[in-house]
Amino acid sequence: MKNIFLIGIFALSLNGFAQNSKTKGSSNFETITLGGGCYWCVEAVYENLDGVKSVVSGFSGGKVANPTYEQVCTGTTGHAEVVQITYNKNITDLNEIFKVFFTVHDPTTLNRQGADVGTQYRSVIFYKNEEQKKAAESIIAELNKAKVYNSPIVTKIEPFSVFYKAEDYHQNYYANNKNQPYCKMVIQPKIEKFEKVFKDKLKKK
């Protein structure tokens, strides 16, 4: 994405599309499920966001129970590669989660991210409650209205039903495979972009 996209994102008035959830609810933790292309990429980014407790790679939105990675890769199960993010609402919130989401992937390309092509790589937000749904609808409306991207956003907003955790070797993939070509050429640039834009929101090492 071009730098102008980021300028547009952070020029928006964010109060309109995401309520601050830090004072809501009895639990400090909330979970949301997002698909933004290859889950290795998305997982690696959110692992570094302050306030995120855990990021689990898996599958949602399909019609086959307990799918394998190989099945999902065929594009016939209906699942999207997703990450299930659990975060501390006293440290971060939906506002920030969505800012990161729309910064580190291209929400305007239908069923693809770069060279990764197929419905399993679609841009999608699986909401678990009305707050998440309204926040997702609002940010997409604001971004389209501001013409932050050259093309309309195609991110789907769908009710969450079930999440299937991917095989163990997909978890923490970047951290365990930093020397792999895909990690160097695709994931590392996303992390560097995230660290530059969200330098004040990084977990303390």
Catalytic residue numbers read 38
Q: How many residues does the chain have?
A: 205
Query: Could you give the CA distance from residue 28 to residue 185 in angstroms, rounded to a whole number?
Result: 36
Contacts of 15 (CB under 8 A, 6+ apart): none
Q: Is residue 149 within 8 Å of 5, Cβ to Cβ?
A: yes
Q: Which tokens hold the place of 99?
A: 């800012």
**Structure-token pair, residue 120:** 């399993």
Distance of CA 181 to the CA centre of its chain: 22
C-alpha–C-alpha distance, residues 153 and 195, integer Å: 24
**At 69, phi and psi to the nearest 5?**
-60, -40
Separation of first and last alpha carbons in the chain: 28
